[in-house]
Amino acid sequence: MLHPSIKRYAWLSIATAIATIVLKTAAWWLTGSVGLLSDAIESVVNLAGALMALAMLSIAARPADDDHAYGHGKAEYFSSAFEGFLIAIAAGGIAYAAIDRLLSPRPLDAVGVGLTINVVASGINLATGRILLAAGRAARSIALEADAHHLLADVWTSAGVVIGVALASMTGWSWLDPAVALVVAANVVWTGWKLMLRSTAGLMDASLPNEDLQRIDAVLDGYRARGLDFHAVRTRQAGTRAFITLHILVPGRWSVQEAHDWSERIESDLRQVVPHAHLTTHLEPIEDPVSQLDRDLDRPPA
């Protein structure tokens, strides 16, 4: 079952997307600005992404079963990739509308009211984006983080649109409005590309971020100073869960109980520096040459 706090944030994102769609559509309807239309279209993408995030977070929270022994955490990457795909489609729609307006320019109406409405919508996105980003990082949820980054990017997009539309109104240069929309489309494509790259990395079992790897190495170095050694240290991320596997080399004279006790201490220390980590350890005698045969499983040095 989906954790209540995560579910609350997903619903917050959905409510924000609906509110901004209504506000930005009203701003476009009042002004006729294709720049504001592009902003409204991106909010529709925000809503679709938020709904997808809620669905994938629900799947990711399911416990492991016979068919998915490692759980369902990777479902979150589908949410992030789907949002990136939607962003690319939205960019195409924005670019089409902008080019059409460049070829057939028209004056803007009620610019002051429209821009005020858009600024209010951007403030809602900014507040929600910051909340989701903090929650996503705390829960190690790529779906919430992707949603947050999209909302925060939308704030900068909206700022550019507001400036462009205001300048078009003050100068009478009607081409500025669709030109800004084209810039918005390019920024939207860049945001979508980054989301899809991150999702692909997760689905390809990329290692944990460098900062996590450095914390892991620091813990292991502390135990190396006490006579133990390690190799075949591998990591990967699957949604909110981190996976760490390693071989622990201990003195061959130790009893199974003693070696196991040290293994438990090491695992506990690693969980302190990488929360939500699932650890798999394998004990080997440090003096046995056979223990060195699997060193090729180690990741190459950075």
Domains of the chain, residue spans:
4-203, 210-297
Q: Is the pLDDT of residue 3 over 70?
A: no
Sign of CA dihedral 157, 163, 166, 167: negative
In the prediction, which pLDDT does 253 show?
94
Pick the CATH number of 4-203 from 2.40.50.100, 1.10.10.60, 1.20.1510.10, 1.10.357.10: 1.20.1510.10
In the prediction, which pLDDT does 78 show?
74
The listed range with the strongest mean pLDDT (113-117, 131-135, 175-179, 278-282) is: 278-282
Q: Is the pLDDT of residue 239 over 70?
A: no
Q: If pLDDT is split at 50, 70 and 90, which confidence band does 302 have? A: very low
Amino acid in position 137: R
In the prediction, which pLDDT does 1 show?
41
Q: What is the mean pLDDT of the chain?
A: 81
Q: pLDDT tens for residues 13-65?
A: 889 989 999 998 998 888 888 778 777 877 887 787 778 777 777 777 777 77
Q: Is the pLDDT of residue 119 over 70?
A: yes
Helix axis angle for 142-171 and 176-203, nearest 10°, is 170
Dihedral, CA of residue 135, residue 216, residue 269 and residue 265, to nearest 10: 150
78-91 average pLDDT score? 73
Q: Is the pLDDT of residue 300 over 60?
A: no
Instruction: In whole angstroms, give the CA distance from residue 185 to residue 180.
Output: 9
213-228 average pLDDT score? 94
Rounded percentage of the chain residues whose pLDDT exceeds 70: 89
What would the DSSP string read from start to end of 166-202? HHHHHH--TTHHHHHHHHHHHHHHHHHHHHHHHHHHH
Q: Is the pLDDT of residue 236 over 50?
A: yes
Residue 102 CB contacts under 8 Å (≥ 6 apart), including other chains: 175, 178, 179
In the prediction, which pLDDT does 166 show?
82
Beta bridge partners of 279: 244
In the prediction, which pLDDT does 209 show?
83
- What is the architecture of the domain spanning 210-297? 2-Layer Sandwich (3.30)
Q: Picking from 40-54, 210-224, 280-294, which range would have the lowest pLDDT averaged per residue? A: 40-54
More confident residue, 8 or 265: 265
Q: If pLDDT is split at 50, 70 and 90, which confidence band does 240 have? A: low
**Identical topology for domains 4-203 and 210-297:** no
Q: Is the pLDDT of residue 162 over 60?
A: yes
Sign of CA dihedral 48, 69, 282, 262: positive
Q: If pLDDT is split at 50, 70 and 90, which confidence band does 2 have? A: very low
Instruction: In whole angstroms, give the CA distance from residue 129 to residue 135.
Output: 10
| Diameter of the chain measured on Cα atoms | 86
